[in-house]
Amino acid sequence: MLKTWQLQKAKNKFSQVVDEAQRSGPQIITRRGAKAAVILSFEDYRRIMAPHKKLSTFFQESPLAQSDLDLERDKSPMREPMTL
C-alpha cells in the first residue's frame, strides 16, 4: 500500500521510509501538500527500468510460438445486430 510522508517527516525518518519502501512498496513524499517524489526499493526500480521487449518479440519467444495454434481469422459473415 502506498504511504504518504510529508517531506520534513520523511527527512527525519529516512531509514524508516526506505524500510517501508522495501517492505510495502513505493512511498510518496509530499511538499506543501503536493506529491513531489517517490521512494522505491531498488528491486522495484530495477523492474521498472528493465528494457521492454517489442510485442512481436514477446510472442516469438513464447512457449506457445511452436504449438499448433490455429491463428487463421474467421471469415464468416458478421452477426446481425440485435434490437433491444
Per-residue pLDDT reduced to its tens digit, 2-55: 899 999 999 999 999 999 999 999 999 999 999 999 999 999 999 999 888 888
Q: Where are the domains of the chain?
A: 3-51
CATH superfamily, domain at 3-51: YefM-like domain (3.40.1620.10)
Choose between 4 and 71: higher pLDDT. Answer: 4
Residue 1's pLDDT band (boundaries 50, 70, 90)?
low
Gap between the Cα atoms of 9 and 7, Å rounded: 5
C-alpha angle 66-68-69 in degrees, rounded to nearest 5? 105
Given strand 34-39, what is the order of strands in its sheet?
Answer: 3-6, 27-31, 34-39
